Structure 1
Amino acid sequence: MNARRVMAAPPASSAPHVPVLLDAVLEALAADRPGLAVDGTFGAGGYTRALLAGHPDLRVVAIDRDPGALAAGEGLAAESGGRLRLAAGRFGALDALAAEPADWVVLDIGVSSMQIDQAERGFSFRQDGPLDMRMSRDGISAADIVNGAEEAQLADIVFHYGEERRSRAVARAIIEARRRGRIETTAQLADLVAGVVRTDPASGIHPATRTFQGLRIAVNDELGELVRALHAAERLLKPGGRLAVVTFHSLEDRIVKQFLSARSGRAVQASRHVPSVERPAPRSFLPVTKGPVLPSEAEMAANPRSRSAKLRAAERTEVPAAEPLSSLEALAALPGDTPLPGGRR
């Protein structure tokens, strides 16, 4: 069944945010026995809470790079009776952070609603705050990129990561504004982009949506982390173990789709940077879902964040993990070799 829609489970009253496609994720994982689950994107703990509730002898290692998310999860860890271990770090290193073979891995890619809702984190154009966007609260910020990157690199970030067709105009406007002073807040940048990007007011899409997405992905190396996480899950999962990944835009879904296609024995399409097509490796994964699982109309109405969500899931075979796919690494990278401000490429 392709692109099927499923009903969502009602959120637990103690959970501050609603986990997207929860019922579908639980169905795909089939985590109803003792074992180890790795929640690579802990956030508000929605998936972890549901996994712990699924079986009294199931353990979870929950990973997050955001120290605020881990601090908020300490209560759940205390209630778990030793079944939940919180781990600080990036999910691209989930095999090292888990430190033992796992039966299930779940990933919810992108920014969390908790981060968006906090104006001081600088993720949202809908409320003014410092232009930050750092999930881990360290490293380069969005302000560093906006005020330090060259025009061509700004255009590449907005075009390739934000999928904004007016990327060159946005980059020119940023360079011009920088001559008058630093761009320090989300409102400054949102107003600047709104001056050069037009959207249909009836769509409800803010003109700065894609620009903010592109900057956030660049700041946090989100696509690179996703590529590393998929390969880490392949190394970590036991035979018969399952991987479930929820994505929210085409860049993420393309990477997951191509990874699972290659690892299930199908050819990988050439990326925009790698002209050759990689030969598929032996089948280290078998599909659990045929095509993406989408949210139901009811879930989209109750939780607007779920509108663009897609779930893909697969089961690990006994075939050893293969070498990382260079085509996916290229999809996660910007064209050229110019480093971001602060030295990271």
Structure 2
Amino acid sequence: MANLHQSNPALKRGDHQKLKSRPWAATLIIFGGIAALIFGLGLSVSFGAADIKFAIVWEAIFRFNPDIPDHHVIWELRLPRIIGGAMVGASFAVAGAIMQGMTRNPLADSGLLGLNAGAGFALAICFAFFPGLPFMYIIMFCFLGAGIAAGLVYGIGALAKGGLTPMRLVLAGAALSALLSALSEGISLLFRVGQDIAFWYAGGLAGTKWLQLKIMLPWITAAIAGAIALSRSVTLLSLGEDIARGLGQRTKLIKLACAIIVLILAGSAVSVVGAVGFVGLIIPHLTRKLVGVDYRWIIPCSAVLGSLLVVFADLAARMVNPPEETPVGALIALIGVPFFLYLARKERREL
């Protein structure tokens, strides 16, 4: 894949340096990451409250026998859980990468900017007022909740004196997330649906069903494909809106398309796994360090690395205190919180 500056002579020399990428590293990450992901899926299916030999896992996948209980455990419980984890990890990571490139905000993440809390609030409303609602409609509510939260965060941040800055955006997101979380918990207590909501707020993959994956797959596949299609434009936006506009990009239309993709990815992921934050913060930063700042590489590599992070975090969550499970969101937060504090401190020094 050619570098962007080769086809855009209008870019300045400094921008050429910013667009440097490492395709060889990206190729290694994609193929090596997929191999590691397959290995992780095999491990995750084998380990759990009941350890199952890999030979039985292989037999269950390729020669399913309904009379063998272990085969049912693999097909009905573990496979949808692990595949769901890979899909959710890719969704959060790609959403974070697009948000950081589009807004030029290194602290952008669907959790930090209130999207996860907005989707969670929509879930609380579903459980309280529409019990038994089909999963397809739950996803739609999550999209709507995430969209409203995003609009409020940007509106609140823009009202501050001095305009919208990365730090103000994060502060507005944190404040709105706290408000929506409190409202969700109030609804859960008032309508006695706390047990249903607690699962999503803890962040976990237990209980993921094939039906959920079947509904999620087209949305997530289309959104990631759209993100890859827009990746060149996101790279130019990451250099600055003036540069992107000067190179013929319709920046408002691109930002709208990117926002829709982020809402689809974040809403789909939250509807299944709940409030798992920091995946979209950590993975894009790590990917940029490895492959450079060309989003044509960042987005697919983020999808692979995000899947790896969630799959192995879920495996670790089941092994920390067996047979009990530690919420996967808590394990990822152990990495994410120090990482966020480091980035926030770095961002403050640069202001």
Q: TM-score, normalised by structure 1?
A: 0.27
Query: Which one has more relative contact order, counting CA pairs under 8 Å at least 6 apart?
Result: 2
Q: Which structure shows the higher strand fraction?
A: 1
